[in-house]
Structure 1
Amino acid sequence: MATEQPKNPLHGITLEQIVVELEQHYGWETLASKININSFKNDPSVKSSLKFLRKTPWAREQVEQLYIRTFKQ
């Protein structure tokens, strides 16, 4: 049974959805200028970004915060 998380703005949103929506909104170049990680700069793809973000908590936090600032306010 799923637990309700009414105060979590990312509840029900996958990391893949976050990366795809940010890339569609900003494009890789602008996204790389906002969050300085190589998976957004060098041969960017959703797959490589997800692989990096799943292993790197500080980068994932920055991506999630950018998503919240962009789409949830």
Structure 2
Amino acid sequence: MSPPPHSPRQDPLHGMTLEAIVTALVAYFGWAELGQRIAIRCFQSDPSVASSLKFLRKTPWARAKVESLYLYMKRQQRDRQSRKAT
């Protein structure tokens, strides 16, 4: 029996806080590249996790872009690890 389509096992964002997602993206890409990939002021002008969280919590379209980039980053990391293992 397979889990329901929207179960936590299939949702890679399940249990992830927005703060953890932003922090991981900054660690992986840095603020400059993050600001290029997602052109929003809170990533480009005097960026901080706190100011980003404040904006992203109020702006669903921007949060969706951040979550999408996070999933892309996780796929890249997984692909790199699988290439190293072979």
Fold agreement, TM-score > 0.5 = yes
TM score, norm. by length of structure 1:
0.91
- Please give the residue correspondences for 1:1-73 in structure 2 after superposition, counting only pairs within 5 Å: 5-72=8-75
Cα RMSD for the two superposed structures: 1.1
Gaps (5+ residues) in structure 2? 1-6, 79-86
Identity of counterpart residues, as a percentage? 53
Aligned length: 70
Partners in 1 of 2:46 and 2:57 — Cα distance?
18
Gaps (5+ residues) in structure 1? none
Work out which structure has the larger RCO, using CA pairs closer than 8 Å and 6 or more positions apart in sequence: 1
More helix by share: 2
TM score, norm. by length of structure 2:
0.78
